[in-house]
Amino acid sequence: MSDTYYEFGTAGERWDRARLFFDAKEYQTAVRILRGLVAEHPEQTAQRLLLARAYYHSAQLSRAETELRAVLDRDPVEHYARLMLGRTLERQGRTDEAAPHLRMAAAMAGETPS
């Protein structure tokens, strides 16, 4: 399939298409669409978060980390990005780095330590 397919349509149509592929667990295809959307609209948190999730689910953890850090640079209190970053770091075996992110995400969610 040519790259034209991934670039075809309006941003809204590509967003819908990326979500369909993500929901179908076709993470690599979702990534190909989302990369273009994020490049065009880097300020859009939802697109960048979905791209990070697609990277995470396709085991591209360093790329997921990069996207999540970009979200948190723009919005340090983005709860889901904080949680995902913690889980991404844990999955890479970086538990010490993950812990503060996971604690902060839990506090933002109103969870108390057990």
What percent of the chain has pLDDT above 90? Answer: 85
Give the CA dihedral 5, 26, 53, 42, nearest 10 degrees: 0
pLDDT, position 109: 86
How crowded is the C-beta side of 34, counted as CA atoms within 13 Å? 26
DSSP-derived secondary structure letter, 9: S
Mean per-residue pLDDT of the chain: 93
Cα–Cα dist 114/87, whole Å: 19
pLDDT, position 2: 53
pLDDT, position 3: 58
DSSP helix/strand/coil, 1: coil
* CATH architecture group of domain 3-109: Alpha Horseshoe (1.25)
